[in-house]
Amino acid sequence: MPQKTTTLNITKLLFTIGILLYNALEVNAQKIKVDGVAVVIGKNIVLDSDIAKFKKEIELRSEGKVTISDCEMLEELMQQKLLSHHAVVDSVTVSDAEVSSNVDRSIQYFTQQYGSLDKVINAYGFNDLDDLRSELYNVQKENILVEKEQLKVTEKVDVTPEEVRLYYNGLKEKGELPEFPAEIELAQLVMNASPTKQENDKIIAKLNALRQEIIDGASFRMKAIINSKDPGVVENGGKYPVTKESNFIKEFKEMAFTLDVGQVSEPFKSDFGYHIMQLHQIKGNTRIASHILMQPEIPESRLTEIRLKVEEIKRDIEQGKLTFEEAVEKYSDDKDTKNSGGLIINQNTGESKLNLIGLDPAFYARVNDLKKGEFTDVFYDESRGGEKMYKFLLMKDRTDTHTADLVEDYVKIQELALLKKKEEVIEKWAKDKIKDTYIKLGEDYKKCTFSKNWKKETIR
């Protein structure tokens, strides 16, 4: 029997899977004529192909842990369309900025997956970037409508301590208490090996020379392939679509919106190094730009100097000459952790707890055997932008994998209880709204057994 998951869990999964594969290719008038219509809800349509694609995608994304029948998949999609329909009825507003930001993230994601923007456009049969953006705009707008309607329906839902206790005891009686993975809290002290002024000047001079060659007629793309440190340059010559809502670094976006078409910028600095940029096209709110990224060399002597300094700081802490927090405040160059005693924050949750199992393998190997209060050895690292550094880590706290405990894990259990209550509220809301919503099921799906009365049958 298929493993059924709750509506909100499937909803979360639907938001995170390849949305472009779902709507951007298939939902158009031509396709609807040849593809079977599974259901119409209000003005929203679910196609037979949507069911097949989402079903396959969920099974792949869950690594086979979630299997779902066609009828169950259709019901989950009907729930999405019902939320979307009533978001419009309830006058839920979605700003262009919100949608555009999501569209930019989608385009960047697929560009990374396929290697270049042109490959994304060609792979999915779009005419150009405008065609792709237009289709994605509609998709992402519906996603945001669904999310906001869910928040609207559940905004006043809360759980009392007694409800949390009853929820926990219910799981315990059924032998269904969850296993919580090992979690750790880490802090770090980082010292960067910054390039000398001589090395910076050398890179700027080289970029100025490349800029002049390009102005004189040389190919920007070929110069980028030969000289740029951007990994994307091999596929697309460093060419990217840029909007003001893009996740690109501030300096990159600002330069893209400063240039005229065909103009090559003077060298400019970012956390990644030094760049020159050429603007190729202006398409509405999107700028298509290429760049060449170069990074100054760090002499081996400078790297050795930094390593020895960090090792000295670590010894001073171990000998009690200063505390770890005092050392971080005095010496650390990491702007994200310097003012929090070196504490590393989970960027996905905003919390200091890190899932040990979910860490990068190399990082996991460094900290897995550490006990609370222990340090790693000093080690070399590089930032995403190629900045070189030496650092060491402190295990501030750790909790090993364990079965849920009401006292130790109260906050997590409270979150699970609240999620369950919200799911129940959404379920009740959907059952009520179905009564007053236009729904037309395709013949092939009228035989399905649903958990809600989508067929609007008389209940005796």
pTM above 0.85, yes or no: no
What are the sequence ranges of the domains in the chain?
A: 7-160+414-445, 183-194+299-403, 197-294
Tell me if the domain spanning 7-160+414-445 has CATH number 1.10.4030: yes
For residues 228 and 141, what is the distance between their CA atoms, to the nearest angstrom?
36
226: number of CA atoms within 13 Å, CB side?
A: 9
CA-wise closest residue to 203 among 229, 164, 184: 229
Residues 6+ apart with CB under 8 A from 232: 112, 115, 116, 238, 240
Are 139 and 20 in contact by the 8 Å Cβ rule? The answer is yes
Helix 129-154 vs helix 70-89: angle between axes, to the nearest 10 degrees?
A: 80
CATH assignment of 183-194+299-403?
3.10.50.40
One digit per residue, the tens of pLDDT, for the chain of length 460 reads 333 344 444 444 444 333 433 444 433 434 444 468 999 999 999 999 889 888 887 877 777 777 889 999 999 999 999 999 999 999 999 998 889 888 888 888 887 777 777 788 887 778 888 888 888 888 899 999 999 999 999 999 999 999 999 999 999 999 999 999 999 999 999 999 988 899 999 999 999 999 999 999 999 989 999 999 887 776 665 678 888 878 788 999 999 999 999 999 999 999 889 999 999 999 888 899 999 999 998 989 999 999 999 999 999 999 999 999 999 999 999 998 999 999 999 877 788 999 888 788 888 999 999 999 999 999 999 887 778 999 999 999 999 899 999 999 999 999 999 999 999 999 999 999 999 999 999 999 999 999 999 998 765 5
Are 454 and 205 in contact by the 8 Å Cβ rule? The answer is no
Quick check: helix, strand or coil at residue 458?
coil
* Domains 183-194+299-403 and 197-294 agree in fold: yes
Are 88 and 222 in contact by the 8 Å Cβ rule? The answer is no
Are 345 and 396 in contact by the 8 Å Cβ rule? The answer is no
Structural class in CATH, domain 197-294: alpha beta
Residues 6+ apart with CB under 8 A from 131: 121
Residue 373 CA: distances (Å) to CA of 245, 313, 325, 398: 42, 16, 13, 10
